[in-house]
Amino acid sequence: MGEKVYVLGAGSTKYGKLSESIIEIALNASKDAIDSAGITPKDVKAGYISNVFGVADKQVHMAPVIMSNLGIPEVPGLTIESACGSGSVMFREAFANVSAGFYDCVLALGVEKVTHTSTVESTTLFSYCSDFFYEGGNGASFPGLFGSMARAYLATYKATEEDLARVAVKNHENGLLNPKAHVRKKITVDDVLKSPVVASPLKLYDCCPFSDGASAVILCNEEFAKKSGKPYIEIVGSGRGASPASVQSRKDITTIPSTVEAARQAYKMANLSPKDIDFVEVHDCFTIAELIDIEDLGFFPKGTAAQAVREGRTKLNSDITVNPSGGLKSKGHPIGATGVGQVVEVYEQFTNKAGDRTVKDAEIAMTHNFGATGASAAVHIFKKIK
C-alpha cells in the first residue's frame, strides 16, 4: 500500500433521458466535481474516464476530448471499459495511480448516453458485453441470464417472487429521496408482480432502466487534501475480482465469484469486516442481483438475503442500509457512470449532503459494481473523516 488516497469533491448530473451530448454531460459532472473540491482544472494532473457505448454518440477515444474541453489538453486522459462495472474498475485505476505517487490530484469521471438509440440498438449493444459466442449471439440477453440466476436462486433457497419485488419497492422508496434519480416513483409489491414479464421470474419492475448521465469525483493524496480546506473522505479498501465470462461456465449461478474475491481484498486492505460497514451501494441491475450481492459481500449467510429483505433489515437506517441512493433500480444505470455515482453517494453521505436519505451516524461505507453478469467486479471501502 502506498500513499493514502482521498475523495475531495464530487459531482453528478441527473440520471435519466438527457438532451445534451455525451461530452456536454461529461463536462457538467466534471465541473461540479472540480467546483466541489475547490480547485481548478489546472490542478488536475490526469483524467480517468469510464464509458462503454461512446460509439453510439460517434465518440470513442473520449478522454482527450474531455480534457481538451476542460481547458487542459496537455493533461493525459485514459478511457476504460469494463461493461456495467466500468465506473468502479476505472475508479480503482485512478486510486492506484494516486496511491503509487504518480499524481497528486486526478479526475475520475464516468459517462454514458444511450437513451437516444432504439430499444433494439441499445439491447444489441448491451449484448456485446456478455460472452457473445455463447450468450448474446444465441439470444441470451441480460434479462434472460439474470432470469436464469433468479430461477436457480428461488428453486434453491427459501425465496419467492414477492421477495424480489420487495427489493424494488425498497430501492424506489430511497430513490424518491434522491432528486437526481431517474425513476422517482413509489411502487408496491403488487405493482411489481403485475408488471409485464421480461424474463421469468423477472418482471419489468425487477429491471433497472437504461439511463443517460455522468458522475465525477476528484481523487488526491493527503497533502493535497489537507491544503484544500474542503471536506474529504478516505478510501481505505479496494479490491477487484473476476468470474467466468459466461454464466454457463460457473459451478453455481446463485453466487458471483468476482464479488466474493473483490470484497475479500477490500476487507483485507481496510482491516475491516462486513459488520463494520454502515451502508453499501450494490449493483442491483436486477432485483435478484441485490440478493446475491449482499450475500456475496458477507452481510448475510448464503440463501438468507430474501428473509432479511422481508424483515426490513436492508432499509434506510436498518441493520445494513443497502442502496440509499435508490440503486440502479431507481437512481438509474448510465453504464459507465454507475460505479462513480456510487462513490458520489458515499461522498454526499459523509459530507452532510444526502438530505432526507442520510444514513444516521454512518462512518464506514462500501461500493460494489460489476460488469455483465459479474465477469468483472470492484469493491471499495470508504471512511468518514471526523
Which CATH number do you get for residue 217? 3.40.47.10
Does the annotation mark 116 as catalytic? Answer: no
> Looking at residue 118, what is its pLDDT?
84
What are the grid coordinates assigned to 97, written together?
A: 495511480
Tens place of pLDDT per residue across the chain (386 aa): 689 999 999 999 999 999 999 999 999 999 999 999 999 999 999 999 999 998 888 889 999 999 999 999 999 999 999 999 999 999 999 999 999 999 999 999 999 999 998 888 888 888 888 898 888 888 889 999 999 999 999 999 989 999 999 999 999 999 999 999 999 999 999 999 999 999 999 999 999 999 999 999 999 999 999 999 999 999 999 999 999 999 999 999 999 999 999 999 999 999 999 999 999 999 999 999 999 999 999 999 999 999 999 999 999 999 999 999 999 999 999 999 999 999 999 999 999 999 999 999 999 999 999 999 999 999 999 999 98
Measured between its terminal Cα atoms, the distance across the chain in Å is 23
Question: Is residue 248 in a domain?
Answer: no
CB contact set of 308 (below 8 Å; sequence gap of 6+): 294, 299, 300, 314, 319
Does the annotation mark 172 as catalytic? Answer: no
Question: Is residue 184 in a domain?
Answer: no
> Looking at residue 327, what is its pLDDT?
98
> Looking at residue 184, what is its pLDDT?
97
45: left (phi over 0), alpha (psi -120 to 50) or beta: alpha
Q: Which of 182, 283, 333, 368 is catalytic?
A: 333
Q: 192-222 as b/e, with b when 16 or more CB fall inside 10 Å? A: beebeebbebbbebbbbbbbbbbbbbbbbbe
Q: How far apart are CA 197 and CA 195, in angstroms?
A: 7
Please count the structural domains in the chain: 1
Q: Domain range spanning residue 103? A: 5-117+210-228
Q: Which of 84, 207, 220, 285 is catalytic?
A: 84
Question: Is residue 80 in a domain?
Answer: yes
Question: Is residue 240 in a domain?
Answer: no
The closest alpha carbon to 339, from 93, 91, 7, 95, belongs to 91
The closest alpha carbon to 144, from 103, 189, 201, belongs to 201
Q: What is the pLDDT of residues 120-148, one digit of tens each?
A: 888 888 888 889 888 888 888 999 999 99
Q: How far apart are CA 267 and CA 308, in angstroms?
A: 22
> Looking at residue 127, what is its pLDDT?
86
Question: Is residue 78 in a domain?
Answer: yes
Look-up of cell digits 467486479:
377
Question: Is residue 182 in a domain?
Answer: no
**Mind giving me the DSSP string for 217-264?**
EEEEEHHHHHHH-S--EEEEEEEEEE--SSGGG-S-TTS-HHHHHHHH
Q: What is the pLDDT of residues 25-60, one digit of tens each?
A: 999 999 999 999 999 999 999 999 999 998 888 889
Report helix, strand or coil for 37: coil
The closest alpha carbon to 276, from 383, 368, 367, belongs to 383
Give the count of beta carbons closer than 10 Å to the beta carbon of residue 287.
Answer: 30
Question: Is residue 25 in a domain?
Answer: yes
- Phi, psi of 376, deg, nearest 5: -135, 150
Q: How far apart are CA 194 and CA 198, in angstroms?
A: 12
User: Quick one: 125 exposed, middle or buried, by C-beta within 10 A (0-12, 13-18, 19+)?
Assistant: middle
Beta-bridge mates of residue 181: none
Question: Is residue 19 in a domain?
Answer: yes
> Looking at residue 136, what is its pLDDT?
86
> Looking at residue 1, what is its pLDDT?
67
User: Are the C-beta atoms of 12 and 215 separated by less than 8 Å?
Assistant: yes
Q: How far apart are CA 102 and CA 256, in angstroms?
A: 33
